[in-house]
Amino acid sequence: MARSVTYSVVPRRNPSEKGTPPKYYAQAQARGDVRIREMSERIQSSCTVNKADVYAVLVALEDVITDALKGGEIVRLGDLGTLQIGISSKGAVTEEDYDVSLITKARINFRPGVALSGMLTTLSYAKVP
């Protein structure tokens, strides 16, 4: 089975140009999801490590990544990419006036590495209703 990204075509209006007709754009459609158990099975089929060991490593990886991000570390996943905490805040007039209560939101920033960025250049697409 050929692997391709599925998409549908949806109308969207430009909110700054009221009264103009919508234009049509592609919107990616997910085919489902892949959970840790299925990833374990897929990885097992491509190497000599058994499913239980792969599952244990993936669960431990989740814990290690979470702890590292909580500690303010950058998590580098080789050619997959990098994870890092980013924050948004309100401004203060002076540095002395700044207080942690001005931080409004934290998020996880992901920067894809060469493996994922390279994959994007070779995608194929299939339209779905």
Q: What is the pLDDT of residues 61-73, one digit of tens each?
A: 999 999 999 999 9
The band of 18, judged by pLDDT with boundaries at 50, 70 and 90, is confident
Phi, psi of 97 (to 5 degrees): -75, -15
Residues 82-103 have a mean pLDDT of: 96
Identify which of 34, 51, 35 has the alpha carbon closest to the alpha carbon of residue 43: 51
Residue 50: C-alpha distances to residues 27, 56, 62 (Å): 37, 10, 19
Residue pair 40/61 in contact (Cβ under 8 Å)? The answer is: no
**pLDDT tens column, 32-63:** 999 999 999 999 999 999 999 999 999 999 99
Cα 56 from Cα 44, distance rounded (Å): 12
